[in-house]
Chains A and B, each alone.
Chain A
């Protein structure tokens, strides 16, 4: 039995917390106990991808409120708090205690609270004589957000503080750096506490990742030594059947700058790239058609619709990694099966209508009542299916619109060729000067990828030409400055090799194949992805299989369980690892995640979890790069 995924562990921890920190009973019908949930923005981000409002209601939560909103006293009701232990939050809790808003208080802090802040709450409670009301205080160690079963990010709220820009800017102070590293280490520590395992850490030398690894190792070691309060005691791991410790690979974003800029072709990554997608929620603007409204009429408002793409959505789980044309076909298939089922129900209705005229209908009853009952009971399922199909149709149509208007398939194909160093059939200059192929940002991305993956830097004159073409197209050249600096800095390291990949366009057949589908994909090439490995995946492969490779031999090795830390990079353990956790300091995106998922699927029995300090899509990354390049 495989160990429970990080997401399941976090959900279980949340549910236990909501049940007043007692393990939830599994009886089918138990008395409802109602409570109020109070969270701050961090808590909201953690809870919202995991539990829906309906699930909260089922657990007895009648109201869920933000900590810093105006809250009215609701006596006789216990309140569960789920907040970060910051100054303002503590002040607000003390205020609540003084105003005696609720009957009982169960305080849960997302990460560990310091002694002095605890004393602040204690004095406020004493002042309000509410000490007996504070029933339980817990450190939950849940300071990370799990988006998928095997993907987590550190935070969403204040991600500017630990973004790529913050870590790599030139005017950074030591204290700032310390603070950022501490935040990252704190969240990673919480992650391992929730997972219940002490990993073996490996990281490259000489960058932010190393600093994080050193600190994390120290923190884990301190905690393990402190036998009284250790969080990794034996009964935590009782539920886990894997006897091996997981491998924790820390990499820095600077290792691979091209992947975040890459145009992508899989469903989830496309949605993240093209639409407004965070915390598993996508927001679409549904506006009127392209024709302008007639004069004199009031302009129609665009309404924004948000959709949740959750784990319960089976279509999403199946297709989030598939290339986009497959998704279009699959939606069509689902629609057809749904229509067939709908027709079946309608047919039954007709039969029922005829029944009154026929005397011999009594014998027909036996069959039809059973069918009708089954149809009735499956009706809610059918409605749910219809809702999901509508959702995905809307989302996929929006993505398709973007693809068509920006010609993203052309970019994708070209970039794949660049990254695999195969021959280019169209010159870069052509694409850049093509006026209707994508936004200036797309062109900038393409050019940056070219610049990053070129083995020799382009000559000055070429560069001039390209810069002119780019500025003509309306791009801002500041990211380029930063990338030049970066390239010079990492010239010592071997250039990242993106592996062999190939992209086979099926342009000839695309029209014929897609003519039956609802999505008119003419003009959009039906590209087939071949398996290739991004740098991060390759590093992981080397480390997990204990292969020797010049890139990874130099990595440092940390084992918090060993008595003495060593500076060596020789691993003690010679067996290949079964479980791995990859963490990118400085930001990651869905393309890497998808690549890792494909890698773990190709290897039997290996589990890979992906994490990053923040999740950005290409446009956000370009913004950060331009900020960095403007210095």
Chain B
């Protein structure tokens, strides 16, 4: 538990003031206040505050419209506050432009801060301030992307539902069409059977075949029906698969984002490593050169020593011969 002694402090300020007045030291507090205000305010802080204020505005904007944005899922069209898709797109676009401008502003601030001459502490402080602002912006962007993901998912689901309904519809229609046709066919079949039974010659055969071509026999009808149904089933499964793939693609895109982040992360490190490796190869080259020179010098040195020794011995011999 803590004790707030600010009041005590203010009281002691008063006592000190009265004491100073009693002693006779006066202070021109008014002038100094104005002087203090006149101190140049560095441009960094107000700009940073501005960026933060902008991001807060964006956040408020998103949160305000969030309910409307997300809520339009019901099929009952009697909701008054439902947003149209175009409005949603508008919000998306605005938010994206806003976010882009904010990140641009942060980047420019960072460049400026680096260029400005200041102490190391001020630089650290500014860097940390910018990091904080970036983290804040990232949080707000996450809000936005969550909203968007919900919306996309809802659209996909809705499409799937809406696709299924007309399929059912069509199937019913086709079934209905098939039935009266079947009834018709059965009537004509009976008549054709009767006529077939009446005729008993090959000519009747031809006529029969022609008859069968024009009017489908029940087996063929069944076959076609079955084939229809099979085709419908295949189409459905294909559509399902396509839906699934769409969903997966969305997930993959999210994964890509994560990967991209990680790769960018590693970029700086890889650059460092690259530079170090380049430096190392250069150093090794120079080292090789130095070694070569050293070997040469060594060899040359040896030659000179040998020469000197031989000269000395010859001179000794000469002196010896000269003396004797």
Contact = CB atoms under 8 A, between A and B. Distances in A.
B4 A373 contact: no
A110 B234 CA distance: 76
A428 interface: no
A136 B6 contact: yes
B15 A119 contact: yes
Given A36-B125, A62-B128, A118 B12 contact: yes
Nearest to B242: A362
A440 interface: no
A31 B56 CA distance: 7
B128 A63 contact: yes
Given A29-B143, A122-B13, A76 B32 contact: no
Nearest to B140: A29
A231 B36 CA distance: 39
B267 interface: no
Given A31-B136, A372-B255, A122 B12 contact: yes
Interface in A217-269: 229, 231-232, 236
B52 A141 contact: no
Contacts of B29: 129
A141 B136 contact: no
Nearest to A139: B3
Interface in B2-21: 2-6, 8-9, 12-13, 15-17, 20
B203 interface: no
Contacts of B133: 32
Contacts of A72: 118-122
Given A31-B52, A126-B27, A366-B244, A134 B9 contact: yes
- B16, B29, B139, most chain A CB atoms within 10 A: B16
Interface residues of A, number: 60
Interface in A1-53: 13, 16-17, 21, 28-29, 31-32, 34, 36
A529 interface: no
B135 A32 contact: yes
B129 interface: yes
A302 B36 CA distance: 53
Given A65-B121, A127-B27, A196-B1, A119 B254 contact: no
B41 interface: yes
A127 B36 CA distance: 13
A125 interface: yes
B45 interface: yes
B289 to A, nearest CB: 21
A369 interface: yes
B129 A34 contact: yes
Contacts of A232: 1
Contacts of A127: 27
Interface string A428-461: 0000000000000000000000000000000000
B245 A365 contact: yes
- B4, B13, B131, B258, most chain A CB atoms within 10 A: B13
Nearest to B59: A29
A193 interface: yes
A63 B125 contact: yes
B65 interface: no
- A60, A131, A140, most chain B CB atoms within 10 A: A131
A137 B3 CA distance: 9
A71 B121 contact: yes
Contact of B129 (A13, A62, A366): A62
B45 A77 contact: yes
A211 interface: no
B124 to A, nearest CB: 6
Interface string A365-380: 1100110110011000
A125 B13 contact: yes
B51 to A, nearest CB: 11
B241 interface: yes
A24 to B, nearest CB: 14
Contact of B122 (A74, A113, A365): A74
Contacts of B15: 119, 122
Interface string B52-96: 100110010000000000000000000000000000000000000
A29 B136 CA distance: 7
B132 interface: yes
A136 B2 CA distance: 12
Contacts of B158: none
A139 B139 CA distance: 35
B9 A121 contact: yes
Interface in B166-225: none
Contacts of B129: 34, 62
A62 B2 contact: no
A95 to B, nearest CB: 17
B251 interface: yes
A626 interface: no
Contact of A122 (B4, B16, B254): B16
A572 interface: no
A376 B255 contact: yes
A75 interface: yes
B121 A29 contact: no
A457 to B, nearest CB: 51
Contact of B254 (A63, A137, A366, A373): A373
Contacts of B241: 362
Given A34-B128, A372-B255, A373-B255, A63 B121 contact: yes
B163 interface: no
Nearest to A63: B125
Nearest to B120: A72
- A62, A135, A229, most chain B CB atoms within 10 A: A62
Nearest 5 pairs of A and B residues by beta carbon = A62-B128, A72-B119, A76-B45, A32-B132, A139-B3
Given A57-B131, A75-B41, A193-B1, 17 more contacts: A21-B4, A29-B136, A32-B132, A32-B136, A62-B132, A72-B121, A115-B12, A118-B5, A122-B9, A122-B13, A122-B16, A129-B33, A136-B6, A139-B2, A139-B3, A231-B3, A366-B248
13 contacts: A31-B55, A62-B125, A72-B118, A74-B125, A75-B42, A126-B17, A129-B36, A137-B9, A141-B1, A231-B3, A232-B1, A362-B245, A369-B252
Interface of B: 1-6, 8-9, 12-13, 15-17, 20, 27, 29, 32-33, 36, 39, 41-42, 45, 52, 55-56, 59, 118-122, 124-125, 128-129, 131-133, 135-136, 139-140, 143, 241, 244-245, 248, 251-252, 254-255, 258-259
